[in-house]
Amino acid sequence: MSQPTWTVVVPVKRLAAAKSRLRGALARVPHEELALALATDTVAAVRACPAVAEILVVTDDARVAAAARDAGARVLPDRPGAGLNAAFRHGAAAAGGGWVAGLTADLPALRPAELAAALRAVCAGPPGVRRFVADAPGDGTVLLAAPPGTPLDPRFGVGSAGAHAASGALPLVGNWPSLRRDVDTAADLAAAVRLGLGPRTAALAAARCPA
Ligand SMILES: Nc1nc2c(ncn2[C@@H]2O[C@H](COP(=O)(O)OP(=O)(O)OP(=O)(O)O)[C@@H](O)[C@H]2O)c(=O)[nH]1
Ligand SMILES: C=C(OP(=O)(O)O)C(=O)O
């Protein structure tokens, strides 16, 4: 069987408001540069994943939109402007009915091979069932995936791993440290440094060690 090709939806908040818990994590690096680097490295890693046919970045930020287009993504406006899950639903609705995954934009250490392995595991799993990858601590979600004909039905937010499980999605259990390493805090950034950052975030971190 040939590998299905995926549409991956990546919502990104306006940079001025994004990643507020990370503010000040790299001394003298402007916060918006760091937030932009995280999203750019995430999108570049998705673009390098052979299972992915299209990336839909949902954002109202002009700098994010430009970087996303440069990295090969299609950009959608952040409609209806009602938060993260609404942005995921908007992207999924534009995806055209195939295999769809929602991914957070704060995965600067993401390795394309780990994303490919997770997407393969979805395809090999039970038909018609949504699957999710919990973040490294285990309570959040980095990836939610739905087969054709199954709504993505995102439940991202605090405690989203539990919310996704309660809504009928099944966890994926692979050893994918770079996929699970979302960066919300300075400590998360330090953990991502240890895994190996994408080039844009690495360039910022090289000058300034995270606290
Ligand atoms: N398009 C869009 N993306 C969002 C929205 N809210 C969060 N995101 C994105 O969703 C991903 C995960 O969200 P969080 O980790 O909570 O990121 P955040 O809200 O920027 O960070 P904090 O301010 O620290 O809570 C990040 O990549 C955000 O950019 C939203 O309202 N619209
Ligand atoms: C939005 C989420 O991410 P975070 O925990 O990074 O805020 C989530 O895990 O659903």
Domain count within the chain: 1
C-alpha 145 chain-centroid distance: 11
Q: What is the ipTM of this complex?
A: 0.97
CATH assignment of the domain containing 142: 3.90.550.10
Please report whether residue 94 resides in a domain: yes
The closest residue, in CA terms, to atom 6 on ligand 1 is 84
pLDDT, one tens digit per residue, over 104-118 is: 999 999 999 999 999
Is the whole model's pTM more than 0.95, yes or no? yes
Please report whether residue 1 resides in a domain: no
3 state SS of 88? helix
Please report whether residue 127 resides in a domain: yes
pLDDT, one tens digit per residue, over 135-144 is: 999 999 999 9
Ligand nearest to the CA of 158: 2
> 87 CB under 6 A from ligand 1?
yes
Please report whether residue 162 resides in a domain: yes
Containing structural domain, residue 66: 6-206
Averaged pLDDT for residues 13-39: 96
Please report whether residue 211 resides in a domain: no
Count, in order, helices (H) and strands (E) of the chain. 8, 7
Residue 156 Cα to ligand 1 middle (Å): 10
